Protein backbone atom coordinates (compact mmCIF):
# COMPACT_ATOMS: atom_id res chain seq x y z
CA UNK A 1 0.00 0.00 0.00
CA UNK A 2 2.86 2.39 0.77
CA UNK A 3 4.43 1.73 -2.62
CA UNK A 4 1.11 2.39 -4.37
CA UNK A 5 0.71 5.66 -2.42
CA UNK A 6 4.19 6.80 -3.44
CA UNK A 7 3.44 5.96 -7.07
CA UNK A 8 0.15 7.83 -6.88
CA UNK A 9 1.76 10.96 -5.45
CA UNK A 10 4.58 10.71 -7.96
CA UNK A 11 2.09 10.52 -10.80
CA UNK A 12 0.14 13.45 -9.36
CA UNK A 13 3.29 15.57 -9.18
CA UNK A 14 4.13 14.59 -12.75
CA UNK A 15 0.68 15.72 -13.92
CA UNK A 16 1.13 19.03 -12.08
CA UNK A 17 4.47 19.65 -13.74
CA UNK A 18 3.09 18.63 -17.13
CA UNK A 19 0.11 20.97 -16.70
CA UNK A 20 2.44 23.76 -15.67
CA UNK A 21 4.75 23.21 -18.64
CA UNK A 22 1.80 23.37 -21.05
CA UNK A 23 0.20 26.58 -19.76
CA UNK A 24 3.22 28.50 -18.47
CA UNK A 25 5.58 29.23 -21.29
CA UNK A 26 6.83 32.23 -23.19
CA UNK A 27 6.42 32.64 -26.91
CA UNK A 28 9.75 33.06 -28.69
CA UNK A 29 9.36 34.40 -32.21
CA UNK A 30 11.99 34.81 -34.91
CA UNK A 31 11.22 37.61 -37.36
CA UNK A 32 12.98 38.39 -40.62
CA UNK A 33 12.40 42.05 -41.45
CA UNK A 34 12.74 43.32 -45.04
CA UNK A 35 14.69 46.52 -45.68
CA UNK A 36 11.43 48.36 -46.25
CA UNK A 37 8.47 46.88 -44.42
CA UNK A 38 7.02 45.96 -41.06
CA UNK A 39 6.20 42.72 -39.30
CA UNK A 40 3.99 42.46 -36.24
CA UNK A 41 3.11 40.01 -33.50
CA UNK A 42 -0.07 40.26 -31.46
CA UNK A 43 -1.94 38.69 -28.59
CA UNK A 44 -5.49 39.13 -27.35
CA UNK A 45 -5.44 40.11 -23.69
CA UNK A 46 -7.92 41.18 -21.07
CA UNK A 47 -7.57 43.71 -18.25
CA UNK A 48 -4.68 43.61 -15.78
CA UNK A 49 -2.64 41.00 -17.70
CA UNK A 50 1.10 41.62 -17.36
CA UNK A 51 3.22 41.46 -20.53
CA UNK A 52 7.01 41.33 -20.70
CA UNK A 53 8.87 41.43 -24.00
CA UNK A 54 12.55 41.12 -24.92
CA UNK A 55 13.87 41.69 -28.42
CA UNK A 56 17.34 41.59 -29.95
CA UNK A 57 18.74 41.92 -33.45
CA UNK A 58 20.63 38.82 -34.56
CA UNK A 59 23.52 39.63 -36.87
CA UNK A 60 25.74 37.10 -38.65
CA UNK A 61 28.24 39.76 -39.59
CA UNK A 62 30.39 40.39 -36.52
CA UNK A 63 32.45 43.01 -38.42
CA UNK A 64 29.45 45.13 -39.33
CA UNK A 65 29.78 48.65 -37.83
CA UNK A 66 27.54 50.21 -36.76
CA UNK A 67 25.18 47.28 -36.12
CA UNK A 68 21.85 46.86 -37.84
CA UNK A 69 19.07 48.76 -36.08
CA UNK A 70 15.31 48.46 -35.94
CA UNK A 71 12.30 50.43 -34.75
CA UNK A 72 9.56 49.02 -32.54
CA UNK A 73 6.10 50.22 -31.63
CA UNK A 74 3.66 48.54 -29.22
CA UNK A 75 0.03 49.66 -29.39
CA UNK A 76 -3.17 48.97 -27.49
CA UNK A 77 -6.42 47.70 -29.08
CA UNK A 78 -7.53 51.32 -29.64
CA UNK A 79 -4.23 52.47 -31.18
CA UNK A 80 -2.64 54.04 -28.10
CA UNK A 81 1.16 53.83 -28.15
CA UNK A 82 2.41 51.90 -25.13
CA UNK A 83 6.07 51.59 -26.07
CA UNK A 84 8.11 53.02 -28.94
CA UNK A 85 11.82 52.98 -29.75
CA UNK A 86 13.81 53.83 -32.87
CA UNK A 87 17.28 52.86 -34.09
CA UNK A 88 17.92 50.19 -31.45
CA UNK A 89 19.49 46.75 -31.54
CA UNK A 90 17.87 45.33 -28.42
CA UNK A 91 15.54 46.26 -25.61
CA UNK A 92 12.78 45.27 -23.26
CA UNK A 93 9.22 46.47 -22.73
CA UNK A 94 6.69 45.72 -20.03
CA UNK A 95 3.12 46.82 -19.50
CA UNK A 96 -0.12 45.80 -17.85
CA UNK A 97 -3.11 45.59 -20.17
CA UNK A 98 -5.48 48.43 -19.30
CA UNK A 99 -8.19 47.35 -21.73
CA UNK A 100 -9.31 44.10 -23.30
CA UNK A 101 -8.44 43.44 -26.91
CA UNK A 102 -5.64 42.74 -29.35
CA UNK A 103 -2.23 44.20 -28.43
CA UNK A 104 0.21 44.67 -31.30
CA UNK A 105 4.01 44.88 -31.39
CA UNK A 106 5.37 45.97 -34.79
CA UNK A 107 9.03 45.81 -35.82
CA UNK A 108 10.56 47.54 -38.83
CA UNK A 109 14.09 47.70 -40.20
CA UNK A 110 15.80 51.08 -40.42
CA UNK A 111 17.32 49.95 -43.73
CA UNK A 112 20.77 51.20 -42.83
CA UNK A 113 23.87 50.31 -44.86
CA UNK A 114 21.89 48.59 -47.58
CA UNK A 115 21.08 45.55 -45.48
CA UNK A 116 18.23 43.69 -47.14
CA UNK A 117 16.98 41.56 -44.25
CA UNK A 118 17.26 41.90 -40.49
CA UNK A 119 16.66 38.98 -38.12
CA UNK A 120 15.05 39.75 -34.79
CA UNK A 121 14.43 37.38 -31.90
CA UNK A 122 11.38 38.33 -29.82
CA UNK A 123 10.53 36.71 -26.48
CA UNK A 124 6.92 37.60 -25.58
CA UNK A 125 5.70 36.60 -22.11
CA UNK A 126 2.24 37.26 -20.72
CA UNK A 127 0.26 36.44 -17.62
CA UNK A 128 1.81 33.89 -15.31
CA UNK A 129 4.89 33.48 -17.51
CA UNK A 130 5.75 37.18 -17.14
CA UNK A 131 5.73 37.09 -13.34
CA UNK A 132 9.05 37.23 -11.48
CA UNK A 133 8.80 33.94 -9.60
CA UNK A 134 12.32 34.23 -8.16
CA UNK A 135 11.28 37.37 -6.28
CA UNK A 136 8.07 35.67 -5.15
CA UNK A 137 10.04 32.67 -3.88
CA UNK A 138 12.41 34.90 -1.87
CA UNK A 139 9.55 36.98 -0.49
CA UNK A 140 7.37 34.02 0.47
CA UNK A 141 10.35 31.88 1.51
CA UNK A 142 9.19 28.91 -0.57
CA UNK A 143 10.99 26.61 -2.95
CA UNK A 144 10.72 23.27 -4.70
CA UNK A 145 7.30 21.70 -4.87
CA UNK A 146 5.68 24.48 -2.82
CA UNK A 147 6.78 27.03 -5.42
CA UNK A 148 5.54 24.81 -8.26
CA UNK A 149 2.17 24.49 -6.51
CA UNK A 150 2.04 28.27 -6.16
CA UNK A 151 2.73 28.61 -9.87
CA UNK A 152 0.05 26.03 -10.61
CA UNK A 153 -2.43 27.99 -8.50
CA UNK A 154 -1.62 31.10 -10.52
CA UNK A 155 -2.10 29.13 -13.75
CA UNK A 156 -5.48 27.82 -12.59
CA UNK A 157 -6.56 31.36 -11.68
CA UNK A 158 -5.39 32.61 -15.08
CA UNK A 159 -7.34 29.84 -16.83
CA UNK A 160 -10.43 30.72 -14.77
CA UNK A 161 -10.10 34.40 -15.70
CA UNK A 162 -9.67 33.47 -19.36
CA UNK A 163 -12.81 31.35 -19.24
CA UNK A 164 -14.74 34.22 -17.65
CA UNK A 165 -13.37 36.57 -20.32
CA UNK A 166 -14.35 34.19 -23.12
CA UNK A 167 -17.80 33.75 -21.62
CA UNK A 168 -18.23 37.53 -21.48
CA UNK A 169 -17.07 37.88 -25.08
CA UNK A 170 -19.47 35.13 -26.13
CA UNK A 171 -22.33 36.95 -24.39
CA UNK A 172 -21.38 40.23 -26.09
CA UNK A 173 -21.14 38.56 -29.50
CA UNK A 174 -24.49 36.86 -28.94
CA UNK A 175 -26.08 40.22 -28.11
CA UNK A 176 -24.54 41.83 -31.19
CA UNK A 177 -25.73 38.91 -33.32
CA UNK A 178 -29.28 39.20 -31.98
CA UNK A 179 -29.34 42.96 -32.60
CA UNK A 180 -27.95 42.46 -36.11
CA UNK A 181 -30.52 39.77 -36.90
CA UNK A 182 -33.32 42.01 -35.65
CA UNK A 183 -32.10 44.95 -37.75
CA UNK A 184 -31.71 42.76 -40.84
CA UNK A 185 -35.26 41.45 -40.36
CA UNK A 186 -36.64 45.00 -40.07
CA UNK A 187 -34.59 46.10 -43.09
CA UNK A 188 -35.91 43.17 -45.13
CA UNK A 189 -39.50 43.93 -44.14
CA UNK A 190 -39.01 47.61 -44.95
CA UNK A 191 -37.44 46.74 -48.32
CA UNK A 192 -40.35 44.44 -49.19
CA UNK A 193 -42.82 47.15 -48.12
CA UNK A 194 -41.09 49.76 -50.28
CA UNK A 195 -41.02 47.38 -53.27
CA UNK A 196 -44.74 46.58 -52.89
CA UNK A 197 -45.61 50.27 -52.49
CA UNK A 198 -43.54 51.18 -55.55
CA UNK A 199 -45.23 48.41 -57.57
CA UNK A 200 -48.74 49.54 -56.52
CA UNK A 201 -47.95 53.16 -57.42
CA UNK A 202 -46.47 52.09 -60.74
CA UNK A 203 -49.54 50.00 -61.60
CA UNK A 204 -51.85 52.87 -60.62
CA UNK A 205 -49.87 55.31 -62.74
CA UNK A 206 -49.85 52.99 -65.77
CA UNK A 207 -53.58 52.34 -65.39
CA UNK A 208 -54.32 56.08 -65.29
CA UNK A 209 -51.99 56.68 -68.25
CA UNK A 210 -53.66 54.01 -70.38
CA UNK A 211 -57.11 55.41 -69.48
CA UNK A 212 -56.03 58.86 -70.59
CA UNK A 213 -54.73 57.47 -73.87
CA UNK A 214 -57.90 55.42 -74.22
CA UNK A 215 -55.88 52.30 -74.66
CA UNK A 216 -58.07 50.45 -72.15
Give this prediction's pTM: 0.60
**What would the pLDDT profile of 180-200 be if each residue is shown by its tens digit?**
998 999 999 999 999 999 999
Give dist(CA 85, CA 195) in Å, integer. 58
More confident residue, 39 or 16: 39
CA-wise closest residue to 110 among 93, 91, 92, 88? 88
Q: How many beta carbons lie within 10 A of that of residue 198, not counting itself?
A: 10
Please report the pLDDT score of residue 136 as a whole number: 62
Please report the pLDDT score of residue 84 as a whole number: 93
Per-domain residue ranges of the chain:
25-131
Average pLDDT in the 194-209 region?
88
Q: At the top level of CATH, which class does the domain 25-131 belong to?
A: mainly beta
Amino acid sequence: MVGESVNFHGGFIFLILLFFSIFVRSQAVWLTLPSKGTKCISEELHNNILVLGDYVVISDDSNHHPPQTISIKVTSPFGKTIYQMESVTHGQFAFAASESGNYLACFSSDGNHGIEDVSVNVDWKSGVAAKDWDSVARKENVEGLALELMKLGAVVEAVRENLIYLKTRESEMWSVSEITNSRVAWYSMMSVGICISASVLQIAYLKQYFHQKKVI
